[in-house]
Amino acid sequence: MSSSNDGPSNPKKPETRLVTAGRDTKGQRGFVNPPVFHGSTVLYPTAEDLHAHRAEFSYGRHGSPTTRALQDVLMSLEGPQCAGVGLAPSGLAAITTTLLSVLKAGDHLLVTDNVYRPSRNFCNGMLVRYGVEITYFDPLIGAGIERLFKPNTRAVLVEAPGSQSFEMSDIPAIAAVAHAKGALVIDDNTWATPLFHRSLDQGVDISMQAATKYIGGHSDIMFGTISANAKAWPLLTEGIRLLGVCAGPDDVFLALRGTRTLAVRLAQHHRSALEMARWLAARPEVLRVLHPALETHPGHDIWKRDFTGASGLFSIVLKPVPQAAVDALLDAVTLFGMGYSWGGFESLVIPFDCNAYRTATKWSPGGPTLRLHIGLENVDDLKADLDRGFAALKAAC
């Protein structure tokens, strides 16, 4: 965990901060990157130091110079509202650690209906078993969320946009209501990262990321981060300590390496995905494209107000066709891999259907739905790949 923040005194642009924050070349004997510290035990030089816990680092689970470097980068990226960053071994661990840190038996949690499905499973499973009441709400509810608050409402969990259906919640409006009611606002900020959406500046108290995605950037680590403002950080600190949450040193190093190129990678994901989204919107096989940065998206005005960029993830709704035709498309593409997760350098596609688990809103898109992640390949090659897929879809109808 780290609780130092040089944001207010550091006027550098985000791209520069990503490259320079957390670096101590003198302490690292001239090397640009810090070494990977593999260790659990930290030795104290004297009994007096031991009794006083007088050491920069006390135990491997509590951090190392490598973890501190990563936390410093992330705090710089999150902005001046960030009081600390916790690291977790996966994105889901970041979410569950956060919820366990701020909730107790008898509390009420409001959860957006477009939430990441494993988050929903945790809420419906362990949290309910531990005596936490859950209510799901329409992600487009905005300030209307006030009518759902109860005397025991402790927190609101939002995700903007939802990583399948891509509704854009009005986070500032929700946060204003929640804070007036004395509740915390928790945001899953994986889609945009703090580079494109500083959610703590939007009134969010705790911002989480599945850093498995864009922070890592290469589909080779599992990682999660939890950033909090001064109000929520003490709760997170205690939760992380009591739950024993920590991330492995090699994954910390890889996440730190990923932050150095985050700006250039996300900029390319943004450009390529938007070009692909516009191309797909003109395809005869596509009913509509779910991408907040498109002017035709219902949440575009919120995206334009609150975000500075978009990532490579969006969805499309196909015109009604048999499932066999959708499967033929999936089997025909070669550059788009079929696999879960996203945020790496490679392009991905998966079919999905929210109807089975959404409870506060009805999911009725009008046709089969595919989620695409646009990677770093050449966009013309990706279009040609989907051309082959659409030809196979048409042949199977």
Is 61 one of the annotated active-site residues of the chain? Answer: yes
Reply yes or no on whether 271 is catalytic.
no
- The answer to whether residue 136 is catalytic is no
For the chain, the three-class secondary structure string (H helix, E strand, C coil) is CECCCCCCCCCCCHHHHHHHCCCCCCCCCCCCCCCCCCCCECCCCCHHHHHHCCCCCCEHHHCCHHHHHHHHHHHHHHCCCCCEEEEECCHHHHHHHHHHHHCCCCCEEEEECCCCHHHHHHHHHHHHHCCCEEEEECCCCHHHHHHHCCCCEEEEEEECCCCCCCCCCCHHHHHHHHHHCCCEEEEECCCCHHHHCCHHHHCCCEEEECCCCCCCCCCCCCCEEEEECCCCHHHHHHHHHHHCCCCCHHHHHHHHHHHHCHHHHHHHHHHHHHHHHHHHHCCCCEEEEECCCCCCCCCHHHHHHHCCCCCCEEEEEECCCCHHHHHHHHHHCCCCECCCCCCCCCCEEEEECHHHCCCCCCCCCCCCEEEEECCCCCHHHHHHHHHHHHHHHHHHC
Q: Could you tell me if 14 and 29 are in contact, meaning their C-beta atoms sit under 8 angstroms apart?
A: no
Q: Which residue among the candidates 17, 23, 68, 116 is catalytic per the annotation?
A: 116
Which are the catalytic amino acids?
Answer: 61, 116, 188, 213
